[in-house]
Amino acid sequence: MHFSKNMSNVYLCLMQPVKEIIDQNLFTAENLVTLLSAKGEDGLYILKKAGELKLKTVGNKVYFRGLIELSNVCEKDCLYCGIRRSNIAVERYNLTDEEVLGAACFAFEERYGSIVIQSGEVTNEPFVARIERLIKNIKALSDNKLGITLSLGEQTEEVYRRWFIAGAHRYLLRIESSNPELYRKLHPDDGHHLYEKRLASLKIMKKAGFQAGTGIMIGTPYQTMEDLANDLLFFRDFDVDMVGMGPFIEHDDTPFKNPLPESLSLPERFNLSLKMVAILRLMMPDINIAATTALQAIDPLGREKAVKAGANIIMPNITPGKYRNNYLLYNNKPCTNEEPEQCGGCLDARLSLADSEIGYGEWGDSEHFKKKAKGKS
């Protein structure tokens, strides 16, 4: 057999398995592990192909979702999360209605197109009614123009319906892990953290009419490459419209404050997160994928790198500055000493690095969802 010394041939030869998987869409669990484990040129090839496919399918626009962290009061006790119920070091807060509407106004005036209202999980009727009222008020103040995504945890079918009818149209609920066994290791066994309930909530939220978003953390304790491969397959099989996933980062006041001996380092989690974004883009070319803030906590240009690798959504934080230090999900969360006005501008400058254009004033709904809706009508 003749081996050419030509470098590009050597490159092609090395690339073969990864290239074959991508070119022929051979996304089995086993092949996904191969992609996730790819290093060097192979790894770069995955990121490059995903970036190219993104431009061909959803284009070079990045859509903003102004993130309002409504409250850190939480009924849940997730072992990884800085605002878990048992963390008594956190000063609990609730934005006033005026503050929420002020933030929404800011997003509207800055032509962000959409907002996300996120908070710890609360399930009582006053909370549900308050959200319903806020959604209606935000719709009214923006002449129906501001898109609203909710990220308010597990709720009943009736609650999802009420919020959808009030005017919100996208919902984010991370499955955290599609492996029930791993899910159980990441959450306390107290009857309030059931994988089955999480999955059922995702289903009923979709049934209520929401564009469905989910996601996971990358590099949690006990997680394997096989878990991540199966998470990717879960996103595809659940037919999600949007995904937000990023590195798991320890928080000092949680049971997971110390990495396990076998845990990936933060740079490894970062690189794996970029690869997850890229592979998902290759598997689901027309969904919305967020470049999450946790990426920026590890690498200042993390979100821009994710945009290059296939992400098309960014969530600038527009929570009033004085509350941000109390919504620390993990150590070193970025932009906690900024006010909303400082955020958009810095993103604008950074995104230009990634050759992207911002879809100002647009909802930037998932093309995947739009196609499904068209098929139904």
Q: Which residues in this chain contact ligand SAM in the complex, by CB under 6 A?
A: 80-81, 83, 118, 120-121, 151, 153, 173-174, 176, 217, 248-249, 251, 294, 329-330
**Nearest distance, CB of residue 35 and ligand SAM, angstroms:** 23
**Which of 78/287 has CB closer to ligand SAM?**
78
SS3 94: strand
**Nearest distance, CB of residue 80 and ligand SAM, angstroms:** 4
The strand pairing partners of 203, in sequence order, are none
Q: Contact at 8 Å (CB) between 211 and 169?
A: yes
Question: Distance (Å, rounded) from C-alpha 342 to C-alpha 339?
Answer: 6
**Which of 166/294 has CB closer to ligand SAM?**
294
**Nearest distance, CB of residue 247 and ligand SAM, angstroms:** 7
How far is the CA of 285 from the CAs of 56, 77, 214, 303, 368, in angstroms? 9, 35, 16, 19, 8
**Which of 31/177 has CB closer to ligand SAM?**
177
Question: Distance (Å, rounded) from C-alpha 302 to C-alpha 308?
Answer: 10
**Which of 152/358 has CB closer to ligand SAM?**
152
Question: Distance (Å, rounded) from C-alpha 33 to C-alpha 130?
Answer: 44
Secondary structure letter of residue 91 according to DSSP: P
Q: Contact at 8 Å (CB) between 149 and 114?
A: yes
Which residues have C-beta within 8 Å of that of residue 180, sequence separation ≥ 6? 195, 196
Which single residue is written with the structure tokens 């590009």?
Answer: 8
**Nearest distance, CB of residue 131 and ligand SAM, angstroms:** 13
Angle at alpha carbon of residue 144, lines to 143 and 147, rounded to 5°: 135
**Nearest distance, CB of residue 68 and ligand SAM, angstroms:** 12
Question: Distance (Å, rounded) from C-alpha 232 to C-alpha 58?
Answer: 19
**Which of 22/83 has CB closer to ligand SAM?**
83
**Nearest distance, CB of residue 208 and ligand SAM, angstroms:** 16
**Nearest distance, CB of residue 144 and ligand SAM, angstroms:** 25
**Which of 243/279 has CB closer to ligand SAM?**
243
Question: Distance (Å, rounded) from C-alpha 308 to C-alpha 293?
Answer: 15
**Nearest distance, CB of residue 18 and ligand SAM, angstroms:** 28
**Nearest distance, CB of residue 288 and ligand SAM, angstroms:** 17
The identity of residue 221, as a single letter, is: P
**Which of 80/163 has CB closer to ligand SAM?**
80
**Which of 62/243 has CB closer to ligand SAM?**
243
**Which of 116/307 has CB closer to ligand SAM?**
116
Which segments of the chain are extended strands (E)?
61-71, 114-119, 147-151, 170-172, 211-214, 217-218, 242-247, 288-291, 313-314, 357-358
Q: Contact at 8 Å (CB) between 135 and 163?
A: yes
**Nearest distance, CB of residue 236 and ligand SAM, angstroms:** 19
| CA-wise closest residue to 329 among 317, 340, 341, 339 | 317
**Which of 22/277 has CB closer to ligand SAM?**
277
Q: Contact at 8 Å (CB) between 64 and 113?
A: yes
